[in-house]
Chain A
Amino acid sequence: MKLLKLVPDNTNIKFLKLRIPFFVVSIALIVGSWAAVMVNGLNFGVDFAGGQEVRITFEEREAAPIPSLRELVGGLGYGEPVVQEFGGPNAVSIRVALPEGAEDTPGAATAIGGEVIAAIAAQYPDARTDGNDTVSGKVAGEFRNSAILALLAAMGLVSVYIWVRFEWQFGVGAMFALVHDVSVTLGLFALTQMEFSLQIVAAILAIIGYSLNDTIVVYDRIRENLKKYRKMPLPELLDLSVNETLARTIMTSLTLFVALIPLLIFGPPSLFGMVAAITAGLFIGTYSSVYMAGPLLIWMGVTSDSFVPQESAIDRQEKIVRGEV
Chain B
Amino acid sequence: MLDFPLWKKLWLWGLTLAAAVLALPSLFNVSGLDWPSALPNPQVNLGLDLAGGSHLLLEARATDVRVQRLENMEESVRQLMRNAKPRIRIGDVSTGDGRMSFMLESPADIDRARGLIEPLMQGANLTREWDLSVVDGQRIVLVPTSAGIDAALNDAMESATEVVRRRIDELGTREPTIIRQGDTRIVVQVPGLEDPEALKSLLGQTAQLEFKMVDLNALPENVQAGVAPAGSEIFPYAPGTPQEGQFEAVRRLGGIRGDSLTGAQAGVDPTSNQNVVNITFDAQGGAKFAKLTTENVGKPFAIILDGQVLSAPNINEPIIGGRAQISGSFTPESANNLAISLRSGALPVPLTVVEERTVGPDLGADSIRRGLLAMAVGSIAVIALMVASYGRFGIYSTIALVFNVLMLLGIMAIGNFTLTLPGIAGFVITIGAAVDANVLINERIREERARGRKVIAAVETGYKEASRAIWDANITNFIAGVALFAFGSGPVKGFAVVLVVGLFTSVFTGMVLTRMWVAGWLRKARPADIHI
- Is B357 within 8 A of A212, CB to CB? no
B residues less than 8 Å from A122 (CB atoms): none
Q: Considering the chains assembled together, what is the distance between the CA atoms of A210 and B425 in angstroms?
A: 14
B356 at the interface (CB under 8 A from A): yes
Q: How far is the CB of A156 from chain B (nearest CB, A)?
A: 9
Q: Considering the chains assembled together, what is the distance between the CA atoms of A178 and B144 in angstroms?
A: 49
A residues less than 8 Å from B354 (CB atoms): 106-107, 109-110, 135-136, 138-139
Contacting chain A: which of B29-37, B274-282, B478-486, B515-523?
Answer: B478-486
B532 at the interface (CB under 8 A from A): yes
Using CB atoms, name the residue of chain B closest to A154: B483
Contact with A along B396-411 (1 / 0, CB 8 A): 0000000000000000
Using CB atoms, name the residue of chain B closest to A258: B381
- Is A259 within 8 A of B428, CB to CB? yes
Return the contact of A206 from the options B443, B472, B479, B480 (Cβ within 8 A).
Answer: B480
B residues less than 8 Å from A271 (CB atoms): 367, 371, 421-422, 424-425
Return the contact of B390 from the options A3, A133, A202 (Cβ within 8 A).
Answer: A3
B388 at the interface (CB under 8 A from A): yes
B residues less than 8 Å from A43 (CB atoms): none
- With known contacts A1-B391, A263-B374, A255–B435 Cβ distance under 8 A: yes
- Is B488 within 8 A of A202, CB to CB? yes
Interface-centre pick from B200, B354, B429, B431 (highest chain A CB count, 10 A): B354
A25 at the interface (CB under 8 A from B): no
Q: Considering the chains assembled together, what is the distance between the CA atoms of A107 and B377 in angstroms?
A: 43
Count the A-B residue pairs with Cβ separation under 8 angstroms: how many? 255
B residues less than 8 Å from A227 (CB atoms): none
Q: Considering the chains assembled together, what is the distance between the CA atoms of A5 and B388 in angstroms?
A: 9
- Is B379 within 8 A of A110, CB to CB? no
A residues less than 8 Å from B486 (CB atoms): 150, 153
- Is B499 within 8 A of A149, CB to CB? no
- Is B421 within 8 A of A270, CB to CB? yes
Contact with B along A38-55 (1 / 0, CB 8 A): 000000000000000001
Q: How far is the CB of A195 from chain B (nearest CB, A)?
A: 15
Return the contact of A128 from the options B360, B450, B484, B496 (Cβ within 8 A).
Answer: B360
Q: How far is the CB of A293 from chain B (nearest CB, A)?
A: 13
Which A115-129 residues sit within 8 Å CB-CB of chain B?
A: 117-118, 128-129
Return the contact of A130 from the options B362, B424, B431, B446 (Cβ within 8 A).
Answer: B362
- With known contacts A158-B476, A275-B425, A251–B389 Cβ distance under 8 A: yes
- Is A3 within 8 A of B352, CB to CB? no
Contact with A along B471-514 (1 / 0, CB 8 A): 01101110111011011110110011001000000000000000
A254 at the interface (CB under 8 A from B): yes
- With known contacts A150-B483, A256-B432, A260-B378, A107–B196 Cβ distance under 8 A: no
- Is B483 within 8 A of A206, CB to CB? no
B436 at the interface (CB under 8 A from A): yes
Using CB atoms, name the residue of chain A closest to B431: A259
B residues less than 8 Å from A226 (CB atoms): none
Q: How far is the CB of A278 from chain B (nearest CB, A)?
A: 7
Q: Considering the chains assembled together, what is the distance between the CA atoms of A12 and B364 in angstroms?
A: 50
Which B49-87 residues sit within 8 Å CB-CB of chain A?
A: 49, 57, 59, 61
Q: How far is the CB of B497 from chain A (nearest CB, A)?
A: 12
Return the contact of A209 from the options B355, B381, B481 (Cβ within 8 A).
Answer: B481
- Is B374 within 8 A of A265, CB to CB? yes
- With known contacts A107-B354, A255-B385, A3–B432 Cβ distance under 8 A: no
B residues less than 8 Å from A266 (CB atoms): 370, 373-374, 377
Which B172-222 residues sit within 8 Å CB-CB of chain A?
A: 196-197, 200, 204
- Is B360 within 8 A of A129, CB to CB? yes
- Is B488 within 8 A of A251, CB to CB? no
B residues less than 8 Å from A134 (CB atoms): 353, 355-356
- Is B436 within 8 A of A106, CB to CB? no
Return the contact of A262 from the options B352, B381, B496 (Cβ within 8 A).
Answer: B381
A residues less than 8 Å from B479 (CB atoms): 154, 157-158, 161
B366 at the interface (CB under 8 A from A): yes
A residues less than 8 Å from B377 (CB atoms): 262, 266
A residues less than 8 Å from B469 (CB atoms): 216-217, 220-221
A213 at the interface (CB under 8 A from B): yes
Return the contact of B200 from the options A55, A110, A221, A261 (Cβ within 8 A).
Answer: A110
- Is A258 within 8 A of B382, CB to CB? yes
- Is A259 within 8 A of B378, CB to CB? yes
B residues less than 8 Å from A217 (CB atoms): 440, 469, 473
B residues less than 8 Å from A55 (CB atoms): 363
Using CB atoms, name the residue of chain B closest to A256: B432
- Is B389 within 8 A of A213, CB to CB? no
A6 at the interface (CB under 8 A from B): yes
Q: How far is the CB of A294 from chain B (nearest CB, A)?
A: 16
Q: Considering the chains assembled together, what is the distance between the CA atoms of A125 and B389 in angstroms?
A: 55
- With known contacts A154-B484, A255-B386, A256-B432, A199–B422 Cβ distance under 8 A: yes
Contact with B along A142-176 (1 / 0, CB 8 A): 01001101110110011001100100000000000
Using CB atoms, name the residue of chain B closest to A224: B465
- Is B476 within 8 A of A267, CB to CB? no
- Is B355 within 8 A of A206, CB to CB? no
A residues less than 8 Å from B495 (CB atoms): 199, 202, 206
B468 at the interface (CB under 8 A from A): yes
Q: Considering the chains assembled together, what is the distance between the CA atoms of A153 and B385 in angstroms?
A: 36
| For the complex of A and B, 9 pairs with smallest distance between CB atoms | A259-B432, A150-B487, A256-B432, A154-B483, A209-B480, A262-B377, A259-B378, A258-B381, A268-B367
Which residues of A does B touch, CB under 8 Å?
1, 3-6, 9-10, 55, 57, 87, 106-107, 109-110, 113-114, 117-118, 128-136, 138-139, 143, 146-147, 149-151, 153-154, 157-158, 161-162, 165, 198-199, 201-202, 205-206, 208-210, 212-213, 216-217, 220-221, 224, 244-245, 247-248, 251-252, 254-263, 265-268, 270-271, 274-275, 278
- Pull 13 A–B residue pairs with CB atoms less than 8 Å apart, ordered by A: A3-B531, A107-B354, A114-B197, A118-B197, A199-B491, A202-B495, A206-B495, A247-B443, A254-B385, A255-B386, A267-B424, A268-B366, A271-B367
Beyond contacts A106-B352, A129-B360, A213-B476: 20 other A-B pairs, Cβ-Cβ < 8 A, are A3-B390, A118-B197, A128-B360, A134-B355, A139-B57, A150-B487, A151-B483, A158-B476, A202-B488, A220-B469, A255-B439, A256-B433, A256-B436, A258-B378, A258-B381, A259-B429, A262-B377, A263-B378, A267-B370, A268-B421
